[in-house]
Chain A
Amino acid sequence: MQKGELRQRIEAMGLLYAPQTELPPQVIDQYAEYAVRRIWRLLIRQREWEFRVFVTANHGDHLPSDYVAYANRASATGPNRSFADIPVNKIGTERHALYARAIPSRPRTYVADQKIYFLPDSTMTDPNTGNPYANINGVKWYYYQRPPKLFGETIDDTTDIGLPDFACLWAVQVAFTYCLVHMMSAQKRAQYMRRIGEESIKSVAQFIAIARGQQEQSPMYQTPPAQKGAPQQ
């Protein structure tokens, strides 16, 4: 669906359910964008492969401009090696502690200063040769892409909203709900918007947790259904 079509559908919803009101298109547009983001974050939890892409990164490269979260997968070719993702708290250990540090056959990746880094790097010495390691380059580094921006005059009405077809009507509904909240009295709106904002933030956190490998849907994290009556044979 295109941005302009989304707005027209929301306006049509207005004609159906709240015919007395006429919202400025900018107001509709901002809630449309907000709704698309909200649905995108729900979808990404279920269908993350649609949003996962990679960049070929060198040591010290900036995060891609459309970066949202690291997808917990990075690899270098020949031989194929995967990079473990480490928190920066462990950087000292991973760099310097005997037996714990990264070596070329078990490399690491981390993000700092909003750049992509790998270990081992040139600050570390190869114990076999006594020479510093070379920085690692050309790594396939997977991440999740942010959805297209939709608000504003510079974004044309023909821009695709970036959701799969089945979710578009859902976007219309959610955006129209936000528009209805917008038309309430100040206090009620403040209450509703606070709740909507909290939900939005929570969905980011859940998405990141999943991006970092904590699969919410995995059977490992689900409690088995309670058995009724005697256990079945």
Chain B
Amino acid sequence: MTQATMIQQVYERMPDAISNEKIDDGIVRQALNMAYQIVYQRAIVAMPDWYNRNNGTFSNASSVNLPSDFYELLCVEVPLASRGAARVVPHTDYERINENVVSQGVASSPTAVIDATAITFSNAVTGSLWYKFKFGFITDDTTEITEPNSSALALIPPAFEEDVLIEAVGILRNRYEQDEQGTDEALEGALQNFLMATAALDAEKTPEAVYNRQVAL
């Protein structure tokens, strides 16, 4: 489904709440984008292959700029390295490793470290970058969302299509029902929902939630 179809389906799924398309288009788009990001967080854990990407090769480079859709590094492939890839070193240990003659990066075993905008190597290397991709706010309605094709990567795996739509419809329904209530109640409801969302976000980031995820892969 493209973004246009997703928007259309959201309208279809709540015929009792949305009446005027011209007013609501932007709000629907906003809700859908919220849903994409919520589901993306889960999909990237659950579906290990879906977001794999390779952005081509670089030659004799001492550093490579991160692609704009970079989310997570999988591998720096270096054909001439003895193990076929650069060692990805934690940034806290980078200097310690590279100033040590025993462990420092050499041409046959280069090291790499990720910084905010680039990956830096200990030696100039030729290779290619494998990573998981992310995406931002989708404004273009022709963007492919759930079905990959020859010209586009799908942003959400097909298994999650219904979950995205249900999530977006849920977000919108809360909004419309608050509109129908009185102002105070509506604000209270909005506050409740906002606090719930914040609490859910906090819960996601606790060490327990990060390290004890109930996803076995």
Contacts and interface: CB of A to CB of B under 8 A. Distances in A.
Contacts of A88: 49, 52, 74-75, 130
B204 to A, nearest CB: 11
Contacts of B160: 201, 204
Contacts, number: 168
A212 interface: yes
Contacts of B189: 186-187
A27 B13 contact: yes
A214 B166 contact: no
Interface string A121-133: 0010000000000
Contacts of A201: 39, 42, 46, 160, 163
Interface in A88-114: 88-98, 100-101, 110-114
A67 interface: yes
Given A67-B158, A113-B52, A101 B84 contact: yes
A92 B77 contact: yes
A197 B82 contact: no
Interface stretch (B24-32, B90-98, B115-123, B168-176): B168-176
Interface of A: 24, 26-27, 30, 33-34, 37, 62-63, 65-70, 87-98, 100-101, 110-114, 123, 146, 151-153, 185-187, 189-191, 193-194, 197, 200-202, 204-206, 208-209, 212, 214
Interface of B: 9, 12-16, 39, 42, 45-50, 52-54, 74-86, 127, 130, 147-150, 153-154, 157-160, 162-163, 165-167, 169-170, 173-174, 177-178, 189, 192-193, 196, 200, 214-217
26 contacts: A30-B166, A33-B162, A63-B148, A66-B158, A68-B158, A87-B48, A92-B83, A93-B85, A96-B84, A97-B84, A110-B52, A112-B49, A112-B54, A113-B53, A151-B12, A187-B193, A190-B196, A193-B166, A193-B170, A194-B196, A197-B163, A197-B167, A197-B170, A201-B163, A205-B46, A205-B214
